Structure 1
Amino acid sequence: MPAARESLLDAAYTALARRPWSAVRMVDVAAVAGVSRQTLYNEFGSKEGLARALVRREADAYLAGVERALASHTEPRERLAAAAEWTVSAARGNVLVRAMLTGCWSDRLPAPTLKAVPSSSAVPAQRRADGPLPSPGDFVALVRDRAVAALTPPGGSKAQTAELARAGEFVVRLGLSCVVAPAGENGTSALVRDALATVRAMS
């Protein structure tokens, strides 16, 4: 991503932390990023385009964090627990991630339609941002699929893949429940470990 575009998205995110999206002005975002307002419009087309690009960037960052979490340990249960812990941490620290994962968009936030919008942008990153944005259900599937890809052993059977898919979906849904209702003093990771151990013992 070109430096100017990234700087503009950083400026927009900072502005959103200070005031409602409806009060964020394009001219101020451009000034903070140190570029012209024309550059801003060239990159995003409109304030709606900027909002879509910001949401897309935060979604991609969240999913990249999931992949890092899934690679952070050797034991599958620990990797799944790390992914759930990241989900909770990311939602607590980023209002856009929380809104995307829960579907609860406050009046302070941009709320771009999740459907694709017509795009005439010459900027590839903006054309992608103008495409469909993930819903909460999409995130469940995306994290589940990443868990399957990360944890399926070489030559794994269909049964193993199916079991990992169920475990991955269970864990991400458990993590999302902890976003809405925080886990107890032992935290999300411990809750996931205990739940997976219980499910395995019962199966």
Structure 2
Amino acid sequence: MRDAARDLMRDTVLDVAAEEVVAHGWDGLQVRAVATRAGVSRQTVYNAFGDKHGLAEALVLRLLDRFLDGIDRAVAAEESLRGQWEAAVRYALDAAATEPLLTAVLTGTSSDEFLPLLTSDGGPVITRARDRLVATLGGHHPDVDPRVLAPVAETVTRLTISHIVLPLHPPERVAAHVADLATAVVTAPAR
């Protein structure tokens, strides 16, 4: 029961923090305001997340998990490996363009705090996305060698983040190119 209450409190705090970041950017986020709106003490927020950076990391990882759930659904809707790579990348690019929290993270004044969590300090994000892609695609294609799939999934994750942060081409073109590359490497004869 105590774990369920703690999880509910964390979710409530993260929901409120996400709303605050979308409305005011990371610089406008005040732990006191989040605590008040969530109905907990400021110390409770600090105990749960450590500090403002810990709160940012928790927001990004929760957003990532929701993103990955969507990618799983997009992949499941396709039959071919190439179609699944393309669906995964396209979903990520489209969701990044329409998700208000991610938009605030990547384009607002909050980027100074969040962007490193996706790029230079992005180890947990990249690892979680890579492992989920390996599990999802490996589940659909058990014949694909996971030792090949893992580095390709990591590369696809990094490429997708790069295109989210600095979009140069239409999402459908990026998704097709990344899918072509990933499929070519995964299906290449072993050396």
Q: Give me the TM-score of the superposition, normalised by structure 2.
A: 0.64
Moved more, 35-44 or 22-31: 35-44
Match of 2:39 among 10, 34, 47: 34
Gaps of 5+ in 2: 1-5
Q: Give me the TM-score of the superposition, normalised by structure 1.
A: 0.62
Deviations 1:68-116 (A, max 9, x none): 333332221111111111221333344765798xxx796434627x79x
Aligned length: 180
- The higher radius of gyration belongs to 1
Task: Call closer, same or farther: CA 1:79–1:41 in 2, change over 3 Å.
Answer: same
Match of 1:43 among 44, 48, 58: 48
The CA distance in 1 between the partners of 2:167 and 2:96, in whole Å, is 12
Match of 1:108 among 107, 110, 127: 110
Matched, 1:150 2:136: yes
Deviations 1:26-79 (A, max 9, x none): 222123223444543443354344333323322333333333333332221111
Aligned amino acid, residue 48 of structure 2: E
Q: Helix, strand or coil for the counterpart of 1:80? A: helix
Matched, 1:21 2:38: no
Matched, 1:78 2:96: no
Task: Call closer, same or farther: CA 1:38–1:92 in 2, change over 3 Å.
Answer: same
Aligned amino acid, residue 129 of structure 2: V
Task: Call closer, same or farther: CA 1:185–1:25 in 2, change over 3 Å.
Answer: closer
**C-alpha displacement at 1:193, in angstroms?**
4.7
Gaps of 5+ in 1: 116-132
**C-alpha displacement at 1:11, in angstroms?**
0.9
The CA distance in 2 between the partners of 1:110 and 1:174, in whole Å, is 21
Task: Call closer, same or farther: CA 1:106–1:186 in 2, change over 3 Å.
Answer: closer
8 Å contact kept, 1:69–1:82: yes
- Cα RMSD for the two superposed structures: 4.2
Give aligned-pair identity as a percent. 32
Task: Call closer, same or farther: CA 1:16–1:197 in 2, change over 3 Å.
Answer: closer
Task: Call closer, same or farther: CA 1:182–1:95 in 2, change over 3 Å.
Answer: farther
The CA distance in 2 between the partners of 1:195 and 1:67, in whole Å, is 20
Question: Which aligned pairs between 1:50-199 and structure 2 lie closer than 5 A?
Answer: 50-94=55-99, 97=102, 107-109=109-111, 111=113, 135-136=121-122, 139-152=125-138, 153-154=141-142, 156=143, 160-165=145-150, 167-179=152-164, 180-184=166-170, 186-193=172-179
Aligned amino acid, residue 76 of structure 1: L
Q: Helix, strand or coil for the counterpart of 1:111? A: helix
Aligned amino acid, residue 149 of structure 1: A
The CA distance in 1 between the partners of 2:83 and 2:136, in whole Å, is 13
Task: Call closer, same or farther: CA 1:163–1:53 in 2, change over 3 Å.
Answer: closer
The CA distance in 1 between the partners of 2:188 and 2:53, in whole Å, is 49
Q: Helix, strand or coil for the counterpart of 1:2? A: helix
Q: Determine which structure has the larger helix proportion and give its number.
A: 2
